[in-house]
Structure 1
Amino acid sequence: MGKASVAPIKRKTIPNLELQAAVYAAQLTQFVREGHDIHINETVFWSDSTTVLYWLRTPEIHHHIFVTNRLAKILDVSTAYDWNYITSADNPADDGSRGYEVKHMNCSSRWLNGPSFLQLPKGD
């Protein structure tokens, strides 16, 4: 599942927008877990924001209230080590904000299938 949003009129920093995207991912995960009877062994998250990944791995540091509240939401449904780095070039989530035409987001696109490395055996 994918979600693309436009930045709000009220100005926010790019790291804060990236953090909000991570909250959406955590909320979506919780929605899927609660909506199905399937047991999910592992959830893996990907972000191209090194700032968000740093914040997730340093919850003991005093962050601004905005950051602290959102980190709590994320860490309620995941651990910091469920989150991994993906380069911006490999991040299909960015396709929704790069002005790609819908016809390019077809069944074989990475928007629907994820980056190609997800198709490799684990550990490669």
Structure 2
Amino acid sequence: MVDETVERLLGYHRRRYWLENGWSLRFRLWRTPVTAEKPHGMRYSLPLHDVDGTRLMGFDNAHGVGRETRFDHEHRYGRVADPVPYAFTGADALLSDFFAATERACQTAGVALTIAMEDTEDDDDGGTGDADLA
């Protein structure tokens, strides 16, 4: 059965939204087989980057985190190196949570969350999802 919300989120793959101050929101998403680690059939990386390309915060499921080895996790603003488990409840909730966390990060930093430009990145991994997810 196809989850329409996952399909919709997969449509964001390779999109990057640039804020007026040069920060960017990056969307990297790939369909995967359904496994214990990725029960939603998707690998994802949704980071917020600064002007130098350094990840400021984000959500991904590239590796296990915590005692439960949960793969879905959040890298919170100001503590990006200390990820915390994220309770994935659906693709729409993930997108909403990412934008809410982005808004909080921007407010904390005194940065306007104003999209100045959108572009589409090249696939630097041949579509495998094996490139750097940061």
TM-score category by the smaller chain? under 0.3
Relative to the length of structure 2, the TM-score reads: 0.26
> Which structure has the larger Rg?
1
Greater strand share, 1 or 2?
2
